[in-house]
Structure 1
Amino acid sequence: MGVMLGLLRNTQEPTRTVDALQPGASGDHGLPPAGTETEIERLRGVIAQLMHTAAHDPLTGLLTRGLLLERLQNELAREAADDARIAVLFVDLDNFKLVNDSLGHGSGDEVLSEMARRIVGCIGPQDIASRFGGDEVVVLHPHAIDGSGEALGQRILAALADPIFISGKEVVVTASVGIALCKPGVKSAEQLLREADTALYAAKDRGRARLVEFNDELHTRVEKRLQIESDLRAALRKSQFFVEYQPQVRLKDGCVVGVEALVRWRHPVHGVVAPGEFIPVAEDCGLIVPIGRQVLLESCRQLSEWMQAMPGRPLAITVNVSPRQITEPAFFTELRQILAETGIDPASLCLEITESVMMSATEEVVRVLNQVKALGAYIAIDDFGTEHSSLSRLRDMPAEVLKIDRSFIDGLSSEPGDTAIVSSILSLAYAMGKHTIAEGVETREQAAMLLRMGCEVAQGYFFSRPVAAERIGPMLSRALWEPRSARALHSAHATEGLARRGHRYFIDEFLDHIGAPMGTKAGP
């Protein structure tokens, strides 16, 4: 391989494509017709062709992983004669799977070829680029000085951000770049590549379409993430996950009409771990699928127990699901099996998906959600109002419940803007025939304002924190809050009517514009 690399350095540019070196092309690499050269010369041509094929990726023409690793090892072994450092850049397309899913793998290959061509146009004569697999390209910049490595990464980002025309269609695919640098003799090739990959992961985590340089803080964070992933796998084996339930209260009388199932992790060392610390890791590594399956089954079993203990008492349960769960081929079949096994009415189950996921849902996700809706279960959009939802997209989604994000509830009575947003969401939901649940209610004043504004159901610490299943039973037979007086309740309905009609006029105009089905509009 060292001899091959030497030949490549001296006789061919790393960036040339396979097509340029096919038989009949210019240069010494074409195969001469039989009989016109000696047998030795023909063998030389065959060997040269085989060496080129072995050294280059057949789709992009970039060098193979093995050659880049060999070159990187050689650069790290050289003497540090100046202040130049060795830079490794990991380049990865953002959401490339969507290109394959929507346009097909043939178009995806065209995007990858164009990606390689643009990266090659950015690198210098001493740099090399290699396709490491899929849509991931590694660039070796062996003499980085005065920020040249970061400048190269920015050039690559800019080049890849330009539209690509595939089969007459304009495709915009951004990229993320992670970069790691060191002086010769300080780190191994494996370590430098691992650090660049870590920086790439951080770039994705911070919103994509950006460059991130590796540092010690990233190293600590990644070590923690790897430990969490390892602990999550052990937690699944040892049944360390459990479910708590937060009541959802009908505001007009304080009765519990539903509960939200919330997964918890009882870590043997750290105690109960907050979901925000392990759910993102579980999403990334795919463990959210078995965790979600376990939570869904446990939640439905628990609902069945409550309903058997109080026959005729209506109660619903909402369970969070991730897009990775939904796109699992067996998800819908498993859902039907769980409903059949537990015997609960599908109309008692509501699956929650965040607004960001719902608004960017692929056709496959929407198809499965429509199946869930046809089964009789409900779909809720969680954290509604925190993203830039399209009204036409909202109209087309199979969601019947909007959960108003707690950030807006916090500002009720103190932030006029939040009050206006909550009122508008309520009016929008009413006009489109959707239910609403307000999250994060922490005070009586907030509950009273929501009641006056026409919100029907709410949840939050004011009513109850998430609790163990055995503590829900007693709550089902009593009111968790009471409006102060019948007069106040009557006043609330009157005030809500006036406010709603004003918002309804505005919302109706929007819905007319997008053609949303509204049913009967509000009267004068």
Structure 2
Amino acid sequence: MHPVLKPALSRLLSLLVLVAGLLGTFGGHAFALEPVAIARDDVAIDLLPAVDVYRGRGASFQVSTVPGSDGIVRRIEVEANSPTSSGDWAVFALANNTDVQIDRLIVAPNFKLAGSGVIWPDLGSQRIASITPSEGFALDRQPNPEADVFLVTLDPGSTVTFVAELASSRGLPELRLWEPNAYKDTINAYTLYRGIVLGIAGLLAVFLTILFVVKGSPMFPATAALAWAVLAYICIDFDFWQKLVPIMPGQERIWRAGTEVALAFTLVVFLYAYLNLNRWHGILSAFTILWLTGLLALGVAAVFDPPVAAGIARLSLAVTAGMGLVLILYFTWLRFDRAIMLIPTWSLVILWLFGGWMTVTGQLVNDVIQPALGGGLVLIVLLIGFTVMQHAFAGGGFAGGAISELERRSLALTGTGDAIWDWDVARDRIFAGADGDSLGTLPFSEMNGPARDWLPILHPDDRDRFKLTLDTIVEHRRGRITQDFRVRGREGHYHWVSLRARPVLGSDGEVVRCVGTMKDVTEHKKAEERLLHDALHDQLTGLPNRELFIDRLESIGALATTRPDVKPSVILIDIDRFRQVNDDYGIATGDTILLTVGRRLKRVLKSQDTLARLNGDKFGLILTSETDVAAIVAFAESLREAIKAPISFGGREIILTGSLGITGWSEGANPEDVIKEAELAMYQSKRLGGDRIEPFRPAYKTAGSGRLEMESDLRRAFGRNELSLAFQPVVRLEDGDTAGFEALLRWEHPKRGAISPAEFIPIAESSGLIVQLGQFALEEAVRRLSDWHKMTGDPTLTVSVNISSRQLIRQDLLNDVAAVLARFEVPPASLKLEVTESLVMDNPERSAQLLTKLREMGVGLSLDDFGTGYSSLAYLMRFPFDTLKIDQSFLRDDGRPQRPIILQSIVTMAHDLGLSVVAEGVETEEDAVRLRQLNCEYAQSYMFSPPLTPDVARRRLQDRSVGFKRAG
């Protein structure tokens, strides 16, 4: 063959062999690899990037080798040596390009923290069962507890393909080719470091355990448990545990997961015990117990599924660190010393967990990080131990046994926070001092020295008392000092100081020293002053209350007996219809108005006068600045005008009036009597319509007692059947027939005879009996009406009953009317309820609602005394009345020509509004004729009939023939 063609044909043959190998690979066989070139001075080579891993290839594996020095690709078949082969294989190739033989170690560590993962982490195991080279015999395994190590020898210029039988499905976390001596030096270097760390961790665990025995606080066993858990973790991580406890192959994963669970468990226990979460935080305690219970269960689960247990433990460590940081910051904000002391250590815990997270997620993969994390964990426990010991020794040592009586008293004094006060009487030296901050504002430097040095810093009013107290103790040689003094503090303000001390006698019976304590009681004194102020002043207005008012009146009265120029007057002020303000606007608004009125009244006074709020809307005033009668009246008038000034509230103006009663101080009087006289005058002012000033008159006392007696008699009148109804006929003007009756209350007193309604109705209204009177009138009137309907057979016959203001504001009025109508089976239209114009105007909104509901029931409604109010026309259409009763003043002939015109206008207006008209007070037949001409339907007066008893009214209905005849 031609010499030039021979090399070309050789290369072509090699290429064909390579193509054949590739085609064989596509036919189901493995590809050949690129060999890793090895130089003589290489110390460690990372083989993992050059390794191909084949999964699930079974117990027999075929692969094409890397082309050798002759360029030929060969095929080899490898049988699994392990009976429990996973069917996973790894293939790599090494090339010795040097001219010498090279010995190297193939090292696959059983566990590598870097890249192990957070969830279902790789906890380590045997990685390589065996390695078969493409040339020669299987590689020899070197004894090593931490890694799978195989010795390989490469001839000069050789290229060898290696097939590794993988013993774990988790693959190869790391595969390196080490120079034997370099690998041995590296192992020895880490051995020294690991020994140091293990020694520190062991000593720390033992020391903290001993500390727990000596000091029985719960934080010490928790810290000791954490130290032992860290020691166990490091023993496993540094492969020292196998030297202590024999571990079967595959069990290292269980031990590693168990130590990680123990680490998570003890960290939670330490945080809980150190921060004293069990003392005040019940929810945190319950949550911690549940958490620890879960971790205990996780420790049991580590035996069955170590990766799951380890993954959850790692998550628990992260959550514990986060929640611990939140709790520590919260308690630090609350000034909790333990939390403040733990901040540096816990910051290191957070940093360690961050480094651990970067390591297990594969972001930090160098050889130093794993042992560094173990050393950092020991450093954390060391700092925790220092923190705990610092807290323990801060309490004053380890004395946990019995203490002497002197020590107990000293500790008790320290616990009170009081200052020590010691007066050496013989040397006249006072020592005063305090350990706490509660007395830090007191000038202790000025308090230490002779007793006379106290005088400049004491309040001027307390100096004599201080000197007298010390002199008395020394002179009498017995007793106790229990005094409160005011001492000027460093800031210039006076502080109340409570001094409690007792003398100490010498052998001669004389006082040699006086020893006790001082306490700052300024806040206590301020609280007493506030309580005293609140006891004597009204909380709403800040004015004196009734007790202080009586006390001042008594003092001024005593002064008036010795000084003729002092002539006090007492004025009682009551706001008219203030209850209506509360009903309309609410109690809060009423309080605001009372506060405004109190301020207005106070502005009228002079400094020597006294204004007080006695109760509710009642004010009392002691006037000493004015003694002349005219000046007193003028002053009272200014008070009345101050009350009447409009009060702007919510975009509207509220105008109030007041009833004033005035009385003077008489010699020999007592405050209660004077106030009673002013009250009687004030009540008289209210009876006369309010908004007026009424001086006291002696006759008011008799009237007041008579009023109380009449009120008592009225209460008993219901049970004695002294009340009755009279019925005044309402006549139909068209035919003179009786259309109905108006029911009028009558009271027949057993001693006084008949009492006018004008006399007992106001008493009933003021005492609240008016509701009971109204209920009586309603039931009696409807009962009589039912009887008359049955007798006459005329259901159109009506009866009118007057409604009081108390009844009109009660929601029960609707129920009362409905119940009475149902009980006596009376048509609703035959009952007419009469309401005066002034009554509905007291509360128009409330009245409109209630009257509308009554009208919906079918009950008739009459507007009584029409024309006597000030807003009849403006509000007439707002209320559902069906009858208008014209007041008798419009029928009275007083010579005024406009009266007939007004009467005609009222009747015409009522008809236009669809209302029936009843004229009251018809005196002559001419009036009746005129009313009939105006189409007025009904009339009611003594001309037709006076009020009749029920029996007379019944007989009248039987006759039904009254007409226009005068009642005889």
Q: CA separation in 1, counterparts of 2:888 and 2:652?
A: 41
Q: 1:420 aligns with which of 879, 883, 901?
A: 901
Alignment of 1:54-453 (within 5 A): 54-78=535-559, 79-82=561-564, 84-142=566-624, 144-147=626-629, 148-185=631-668, 187-312=669-794, 314-411=796-893, 415-453=896-934
Q: Tell me the SS of whatever aligns to 1:410.
A: coil
Which of 53-62 and 356-365 deviates more? Answer: 356-365
The answer as to whether partners of 1:411 and 1:419 remain within 8 angstroms in 2 is: no
Look up the SS of the partner of 1:200 in the other structure.
helix
In 2, are the aligned partners of 1:77 and 1:184 still within 8 Å (CA)? Answer: no
Aligned-partner Cα distance in 2 for 1:159–1:62: 17
Query: Alpha-carbon deviation of 1:300?
Result: 0.1
Three-state SS of the structure 1 residue aligned to 2:521 is: helix
CA 1:143–1:482 in structure 2 vs 1: closer, same or farther (change >3 Å)? Answer: closer
Superposed displacement of residue 459, structure 1 = 1.3
Asked if the contact 2:725/2:745 (under 8 Å) is kept, the reply is yes
Q: Distance in 2 between matches of 1:67 and 1:336?
A: 51
CA deviations over 1:399-430 (Å, ceiling 9, x no partner): 11111112222328x65333222211111101
Q: Distance in 2 between matches of 1:360 and 1:269?
A: 37
Quick one: distance in 2 between partners of 1:409 and 1:196?
42
SS at match of 2:918: strand
Higher mean displacement: 199-208 or 241-250: 199-208
Q: Report the 3-state secondary structure (helix = DSSP H, G, I; strand = E; otherwise coil) of the residue aligned with 2:754.
A: strand
One-letter amino acid of the counterpart of residue 547, structure 2: G
CA contact (8 A) 1:251 1:456 kept: yes
**Partner residue, 2:950:** 469
Mapped to 2, the partners of 1:30 and 1:336 lie a distance apart of 71
SS state at 1:52 partner: helix
Match of 2:77 in 1: none
Query: Displacement, 1:385?
Result: 1.6
* Percent identical residues: 35
**Distance (Å, rounded) in 2 between the aligned partners of 1:212 and 1:204:** 9
Taking a change above 3 Å as real, the CA distance of residues 415 and 470 of structure 1, as seen in their structure-2 partners, is farther
Determine the C-alpha separation between the residues in 1 that align with 2:519 and 2:950.
85
Q: Secondary structure at the match of 1:145?
A: coil
> Structure 2 CA distance, aligned partners of 1:440 and 1:31?
79
Post-superposition Cα deviations, 1:492-517, rounded to whole Å, max 9, x if no partner, equal xxxxxxxxxxxxxxxxxxxxxxxxxx
2: distance between equivalents of 1:231 and 1:116?
38
Q: Which residue pairs with 2:529 in the alignment?
A: 48
Residue 57 (structure 2) aligns with: none
Alpha-carbon separation, structure 1, partners of 2:494 and 2:684: 43
* Counterpart Cα distance in 2 of 1:249 and 1:46: 74
3-state secondary structure, aligned to 2:891 = helix
Structure 2 segments unaligned to the other structure (5+ residues): 1-491, 498-517
C-alpha deviation, 1:38, in angstroms: 5.6
Shift in CA distance, 116/29, structure 1 to aligned 2, threshold 3 Å = farther
Give 5+ residue unaligned stretches, structure 1.
1-26, 484-524
The alpha-carbon distance between structure 1 residues 351 and 167, as it changes in their structure 2 partners (threshold 3 A), is: closer
Per-residue deviation, 1:218: 3.1
Of 937, 940, 951, 1:459 maps to: 940
Does the C-alpha gap of structure 1 residues 311 and 135 become closer, same or farther in structure 2, counting only changes over 3 Å?
same
Q: Is the 1:249–1:258 Cα contact (8 Å) retained in structure 2?
A: yes
> Structure 1: how far apart are the matches of 2:597 and 2:841?
28
Q: Which region of structure 1 is more displaced relative to structure 2, 118-127 or 163-172?
A: 163-172
Equivalent pair of 2:495/2:520 in contact (CA under 8 Å): no
Residue identity opposite 2:769 in structure 1: L
Contact residue 359 and residue 394 of structure 1 kept, 8 A: no
Give the 3-state SS of the residue equivalent to 1:382 in structure 2: strand
Who is 1:11 aligned against?
Answer: none
- State the TM-score, normalized to the length of structure 2: 0.45
CA separation of 1:340 and 1:45: change in aligned 2, threshold 3 A:
same
The one-letter code of the counterpart of 1:381 is L
Distance 1:357 1:308, change over 3 A: same
Cα offsets for 1:262-283 (capped at 9, x unmatched): 1111111121112111112211
Structure 1 residue 30: deviation in Å?
Answer: 11
Q: Does 1:478 align with 2:934?
A: no
1:186-207 CA-to-partner distances (Å, cap 9, x unmatched) read: x221111111111111222222
Cα distance change of structure 1 residues 47 and 228 upon mapping to structure 2, 3 Å threshold = same
SS in 2 for 1:85: coil
Name 1:511's counterpart in structure 2: none
Once the two structures are superposed, residues 361-398 of structure 1 have per-residue CA deviations (whole angstroms, 9 ceiling, x without a partner) of: 34223222111111100111111122223323011112
- Does the C-alpha gap of structure 1 residues 482 and 40 become closer, same or farther in structure 2, counting only changes over 3 Å? closer
Aligned residues: 452
1:324, distance to aligned residue in structure 2 (A): 0.6
Rounded to whole Å, the distance in 1 between the matches of 2:953 and 2:896 is: 33
Cα 1:120–1:313 shift into 2, 3 Å: closer
CA contact 1:73–1:188 (8 Å) conserved in 2: yes
Query: What code does the residue aligned with 2:653 have?
Result: E
Q: CA distance change for structure 1 residues 227 and 143 in 2, over 3 Å: closer, same or farther?
A: farther
Give the aligned residue type for 1:242.
Answer: S
> CA shift at 1:67, angstroms?
0.9
Q: AA paired with 1:350?
A: K
Normalising by structure 1, we get a TM-score of 0.81
Distance 1:167 1:313, change over 3 A: closer
Moved more, 388-397 or 240-249: 388-397
Counterpart Cα distance in 2 of 1:114 and 1:61: 12
State the shift of 1:228 in Å: 2.0
* Residue 333 of structure 1: how far off its partner (Å): 0.8
Once the two structures are TM-superposed, the CA of residue 119 in structure 1 deviates from its matched residue by 1.3
Instruction: Give the residue type in structure 1 aligned to 2:818.
Output: R
CA contact (8 A) 2:496 2:521 kept: no
- Taking CA–CA contacts closer than 8 Å with sequence separation of 6 or more, which of the two structures ends up with the larger relative contact order? 1
Residues 415 and 451 of structure 1: is their aligned pair in 2 closer, same or farther, counting only changes over 3 Å?
Answer: farther
Give the direction of change, closer, same or farther, for the CA distance of 1:110–1:219 in structure 2 (3 Å limit): same
